[in-house]
Amino acid sequence: MKQTPLFPVLLSTIILFVFLSCPALGSTEKNRIKSDLDSLIERRDAVVLADASGTIVYGKHSNRKLIPASILKLFTSLVALNSLGKDYKFKTDFYTDADENLKIKGFGDPLLTSEFLGGIAESLAAKLDEVKDIVTDDSYFSNPISIPGTSTNSTQPYDAPNGALSVNFNTVNFKTSPTGKFVSAEPQTPLLPFVLPRITASSLDNGRIMLESHEIAPYAGHMIHWFITDNGITCTGHIRTGRIDAARDRLVLSYTSKTSMEDMIRQLLLYSNNFMANQMLLTAGAERYGPPGTMEKGVKAAREYAENVLHIKKQELDIIEGSGISRQNRISAGTFLNILKAFEPYRHLMRNNGRGLYKTGNLTGISTRAGYIEQHGGRFYYYVVMMNTPGRSSKPVMDKLEQLISR
């Protein structure tokens, strides 16, 4: 019988011993990374990392309620999906009355933009040759709507007000031509005389300004007027606000948004659009409790969903509005895991940087991030990073979390 050489047996034994010893070395390295993480997290910060089963891999201050900033939009998206349904599409209705006025009623479509107004006008031109007044009906939401955390004197588009009949996110994008005139910065959007006083008052040469609450519905009327006349409809009257009389007025066109709820959420998360988030929350409140939509009804729908579906207790979540712009919004990193677990079927709608799916949030002095780190074999981890200490960033924390689960 041929004997096995002694040296290969000894070598195999040594390799096996080293291999079996590796977990201890890995544990030491993980403890070092956790220590590094601890040093990055101050009293007003929180971090939690959990595997797919919900087992906490790392957590610090995970029960401390902090400001989530824009990662709150993940929760708002879930509220919209729950209250409106994944097949929901926003609509805008067009009526004519006995006096041949064209009446438009909005139902909160956050993506009623110039890209779609041309097609709407073309459809109306196939039905109408002439109208008198253009009447805008924004009664599906209350007006004005106050969004906590926004500034009414701002020129920043993230402070744009909300309304049931809104066009182009209630903002105007403009620039100055070589001749010194204000012109539209978007080829698909005309720069209307209606907004020139607002542009002049801004003292800006270019940029995107927001409308004021009382200008929202009139601006929509002026924009629709431009598009329908461009498509051959004669308008002989004025632009004014009013109300639809469903019993007497004749529905001539019900425009349904071309954007699905999932695509709308994808855009909401991609651009972190505050206006879109609160349009969706206001609509959720109006659909659930009846119009007019108010922030109070939207918040009520959100709290009801959090408690009844996500099993988040009332004291665990302070929600004031849906975009995350308000510093009065508060939730703990540990509680936010419930949101990530519920959002898991929709995680493909989030940004993907090649290492995972994520949503960030930023306010002055606030840096947050939440999402999923995906591993080989379909495994993934949930994480929430909430840095509420001014000057602290979520990035070095994320680097350490990724190191922790790569070991």
Residues across the chain: 407
Mean pLDDT of 146-160: 84
Residue 324 belongs to some domain of the structure: yes
Residue 23 belongs to some domain of the structure: no
Residue at a domain's end among 258, 283, 301: 258
> Do residue 241 and residue 386 come from a single domain?
no
Helix (H, G, I), strand (E, B) or coil at 149: coil
Q: Give the pLDDT of residue 158.
A: 85
> Do residue 250 and residue 129 come from a single domain?
yes
Mean pLDDT of 241-264: 97
Helix (H, G, I), strand (E, B) or coil at 104: strand
> Do residue 80 and residue 95 come from a single domain?
no
> Do residue 75 and residue 107 come from a single domain?
no
* Token representation of residue 63: 């029960």
**Worst-scoring range by mean pLDDT, 59-68, 126-135, 139-148, 375-384?**
375-384
Residue 282 belongs to some domain of the structure: yes
**Worst-scoring range by mean pLDDT, 49-53, 277-281, 306-310?**
49-53
> Do residue 99 and residue 243 come from a single domain?
yes
> Do residue 297 and residue 321 come from a single domain?
yes
Residue 133 belongs to some domain of the structure: yes
Q: Are 161 and 216 in contact (CB under 8 A)?
A: yes
Q: Look at the chain and report how many structural domains it folds into.
A: 2
Range of the domain at 180: 91-258
Residue at a domain's end among 258, 290, 320: 258
> Do residue 322 and residue 377 come from a single domain?
yes
Residue at a domain's end among 239, 258, 277: 258
Q: Give the pLDDT of residue 407.
A: 53
Q: How many helices (H) and strands (E) does the chain have?
A: 10, 19
> Do residue 97 and residue 236 come from a single domain?
yes
Cite the beta strand spans of 52-158 per DSSP E. 56-60, 65-66, 91-96, 102-106, 130-131, 134-137
Domain with residue 361: its CATH number is 3.40.710.10
| Average pLDDT of the residues of the chain | 92
**Worst-scoring range by mean pLDDT, 19-28, 154-163, 287-296, 312-321?**
19-28
Render pLDDT for 5-21 as a digit per residue (tens, 0 to 9). Answer: 444 444 444 444 433 44
Residue 70 belongs to some domain of the structure: yes
CA distance 396 to 398: 5
Residue 3 belongs to some domain of the structure: no
At CA 149, angle to CA 391 and CA 219, rounded to 5?
125
Asked whether residue 276 carries a pLDDT value surpassing 70, the answer given is: yes
Query: Does pTM surpass 0.85?
Result: yes
> Do residue 219 and residue 151 come from a single domain?
yes
Q: How far is CA 341 from the centre of its chain?
A: 18
Residue 18 belongs to some domain of the structure: no
> Do residue 113 and residue 174 come from a single domain?
yes
Domain with residue 220: its CATH number is 3.50.80.20
> Do residue 306 and residue 319 come from a single domain?
yes
| Residue whose token pair is 């206001």 | 282
Q: How far is CA 400 from the centre of its chain?
A: 27
Residue 252 belongs to some domain of the structure: yes
Q: How confident is the model at residue 3 (pLDDT cuts 50, 70, 90)?
A: very low
> Do residue 379 and residue 276 come from a single domain?
yes
